[in-house]
A and B are shown apart, each in its own frame.
Chain A
Amino acid sequence: MFKLLTPLSMAMSAVLLCACGGSSPTATIAPSLAHGTLAVDPPFRIASLNAASFQAELAATGSGAQLLQITGPPRCGVDFYYVEFWTVGGAGETTESSGALMVPTGAAPACSGPRPLVLYAHGTNTDKALNIADVTNASNTEGVLIAAMFAAQGYIVVAPNYAGYDISTLGYHPYLNAAQQSGEMMDILTAARTALPKTFSAATSDSGKLFVTGYSQGGHVAMATQRALQAAGVAVTGAAGMSGPYALEAFGDAILFGNVDLGSTVFTPLLTTSYQKAYGNLYTAPSDVYSATYVSGIETLLPSATPLNTLFSSGLLPETALFDSTTPIVTVPNNPVLSAELTALLSVPGSANYPLPPTPQTPLFAAGFGSPYLLNNSYRVAYALDAASNPDGAVPTPKAGVPLAATAPVQPLRLAFYKNDLRNGAWAPNAPTLLCGGDADPTVFFSVNTGTMAAFWSPLVQAGLITVLDVNGSPAGPFAAIQTGFQESQAAQLAFYESAAGGSLSPAAAQQLIVEGYHTSVAPFCSAAARAFFSEL
């Protein structure tokens, strides 16, 4: 046996000596955690679509076909890269974040070589797994929208998922934290510019033209980013804020005084947690703010891996009842008149005690009251007292002249709104800026936000630098076709809901669905307006 094993062992030894090769390398992991560092270099390409296949993918679904009518057919292919980068959280925590780099590709001159870059901020999303780069995910409608609207038309698109989402280990999302979110936008811009030359799509390069835009929450983020870039001396070619809550203090005052917007029960936990993490003074315990019904786990509820409808049906969050339907009694020491006035203002809109005349939005606002409810009356009263003693320049009644924010509120939530109100600081854009929205928006009120910012900037900028577009306004000017398109699509959608194919809904029920979908419906039309605006710069 020994005689047999010896030559076999020698042969096996030779075999083992031969088998020594490794494998080709993959991307490198950055050793630095400095903000703006590309964490995985080169970035992963999730998908690569040429113009024809992208068009075919869009045309294959009803919503995609509708989007194509607004965006026009793709002129370019798009490579979708998943960018992982380092940034900081709302309290300065080092955290990894992720996002998209969408690169136009193709032989057409508009699709390669030096191309302009759109830095995009997405809207509120409750899905913790959100990855805007993943066009293979059917629920990623905003990613598809910006790809079709911008990347497929020759713009490089860079868009973060935001800290607290996707791979980020931050245990919350710094929602509407202007400093954090603008910083994160600049960080992904730096990371994406590092990544681009190392991708498969290196034939496309950054021309240096930089556009900043975003929708809803992203409208606020985009404007904060424009301000931060400008302050850092970075040239912004143009910007477009779309349906954003820019004048946050005024918007907050409007809501706390009963103009409850659609989606407020989702926005409130995101906002409150974000500002508690950043400033640490919104409450001693969550029960200071939230009712006993919903306080358990509220700080970590959103964003969530659980679908929003499940959170509602599971009783973890009210669908619309932000406030208690039982009106609190406000007591202002030695001021019974103001006490009565505030008490009336905090009653349910449309109720007998409510002092203001009904409007078409009154039923919407009234739906924000109920029981169980999300926010304690005591917290609401404290906010209202601060607003009454130190009113915002735009709410409840716009003051003459520039609608400035209040000076240094004392109630912590209102102070947080003030700090993140984009009227904060004497600044105005130095690049052409479009403000786009729909004036019937039930989610982010148009006049309180877009109207207030336009009025605030009016004396600070040269004529023509700021363009305001209401897609619901009478069609006129360079965006008339977009306004007409939006209004026709709303009418068509209403007719569909009332048709047999759409469920034969009553006019009232159909109109209710239109209201519920309004904020989302504006997005592609404002995006088209932004693209048209950028194309002239």
Chain B
Amino acid sequence: MSTLTRTRLAWLAATAGSIYFAAPAPVRADDVPSNSARLGLYSVFYHVSADDLSGPYVPPGANIDAKNVDTLYAAYVRRLSSHFDVELALGYPPLQKTVGKGPATLGSVPYDGQVIATARWLAPTLLVEYMFLDEQSAWRPYVGVGVNYTTFYDRDSTAQGNAASGGPTRLSLTPSVGAAGTVGVAYHIANQWHAYASYSISKVSTDLSADTAGIIRTTHINFGPQALVVAVGYSF
């Protein structure tokens, strides 16, 4: 976990704690609001597995990796019943950096560890969540399953990427649809306010195609993202 993420987690914990100590109040079941919005931080950790790049003039073992990212988390949650919610989670599209992995150089061009491409992704995830304990509980663990859709845009090959690829390069990545799951805990802070922490995994895979002056290189990538979320929510 990055220093930045740890700092944000500490801030969120302190903020949530101060609200809790200021004004705890039980909520009656028939007053429970149906909707809530959440805002927080998304720390995404990748466990990339990708086929070696294939296509003309690609040396054996040329592969790619992705750098972890932090971004803003936002979600809309609809209460279905006292134990079931449905959540549409989003992250503010971060600038995702893709790095070369494999040979130190391609010819004499540095490759391994170089940021060769950037892209922004938008990855809405729809989850049905089961909330344990009753709604009056201050702490409510929950689990959820659902589906993730990821699309990539603003796809750019960097100068290092262009040098490694052999020229200006157009990237395309197919959208991904895959299963998602989460475990988390909600904490009732006060009135309509809650704090949340969760750990999520999802299957995000894409077919990457890189077009450099008509020379096409491809690979299939499984990003294997895992995400830690800390957030606060307001019910209404």
The residues of A with any CB-CB pair to B shorter than 8 Å are 4, 7-8, 11-12, 15, 18-27, 29, 40, 42-50, 53, 77, 82, 84, 134, 136, 200
Write out the residue numbers on chain B whose beta carbons fall within 8 Å of the beta carbon of A19.
93, 122, 151, 153
CA A77 to CA B154, docked complex, whole Å: 34
- Which residue on chain B has the smallest CB distance to residue A47? B107
Chain B interface size band reads 35 or more
B198 on the A face (CB < 8 A): no
Is B168 touching A26 in the complex (CB atoms < 8 A)?
A: yes
Is B211 touching A26 in the complex (CB atoms < 8 A)?
A: yes
CA A40 to CA B167, docked complex, whole Å: 11
CA A15 to CA B108, docked complex, whole Å: 42
B172 on the A face (CB < 8 A): yes
- Which residue on chain A has the smallest CB distance to residue B76? A11
Q: Which of B106, B156, B163, B169 contacts A200 (CB 8 A)?
A: B163
Tell me if B's interface is mostly helix, strand, loop or mixed: strand
Q: Which of B59, B108, B167 contacts A42 (CB 8 A)?
A: B167
26 chain-A/chain-B pairs, Cβ below 8 angstroms: A4-B78, A4-B80, A7-B35, A7-B78, A11-B88, A11-B124, A12-B124, A15-B122, A19-B93, A21-B154, A22-B154, A22-B155, A24-B155, A24-B156, A26-B169, A26-B213, A27-B214, A42-B168, A43-B167, A44-B212, A45-B167, A46-B166, A48-B108, A48-B109, A77-B108, A200-B167
B 94-138 contacts with A by CB, 8 A: 105-109, 120, 122, 124, 126
Is B153 touching A47 in the complex (CB atoms < 8 A)?
A: no
Is A134 touching B88 in the complex (CB atoms < 8 A)?
A: no
Is B213 touching A23 in the complex (CB atoms < 8 A)?
A: no
CA A11 to CA B126, docked complex, whole Å: 11
B172 to A: closest C-beta gap in Å: 6
- Which residue on chain B has the smallest CB distance to residue A10? B76
The residues of B with any CB-CB pair to A shorter than 8 Å are 35, 57, 59, 76, 78, 80, 86, 88, 90, 93, 105-109, 120, 122, 124, 126, 151, 153-157, 163, 166-172, 211-215
Is A27 touching B213 in the complex (CB atoms < 8 A)?
A: yes
B131 to A: closest C-beta gap in Å: 17
Q: Which of B108, B124, B171, B213 contacts A49 (CB 8 A)?
A: B108
Is A23 touching B167 in the complex (CB atoms < 8 A)?
A: no
- Which residue on chain B has the smallest CB distance to residue A137? B57
Is B153 touching A44 in the complex (CB atoms < 8 A)?
A: no
- Which residue on chain A has the smallest CB distance to residue B78? A4
Is A50 touching B108 in the complex (CB atoms < 8 A)?
A: yes
Is A44 touching B170 in the complex (CB atoms < 8 A)?
A: no
CA A310 to CA B212, docked complex, whole Å: 34
CA A47 to CA B212, docked complex, whole Å: 13
Is A4 touching B86 in the complex (CB atoms < 8 A)?
A: yes
Write out the residue numbers on chain A whose beta carbons fall within 8 Å of the beta carbon of B166.
44-46
A98 to B: closest C-beta gap in Å: 11
Is A136 touching B57 in the complex (CB atoms < 8 A)?
A: yes
Q: Which 10 A-B pairs have the closest CB atoms?
A: A21-B153, A21-B154, A44-B213, A27-B213, A45-B166, A23-B155, A26-B170, A50-B108, A24-B156, A47-B107
Is B120 touching A21 in the complex (CB atoms < 8 A)?
A: yes
| 7 further A-B pairs in the complex, CB-CB below 8 A; given A8-B86, A48-B107, A200-B167 | A7-B35, A11-B88, A11-B124, A18-B93, A22-B155, A24-B169, A27-B168
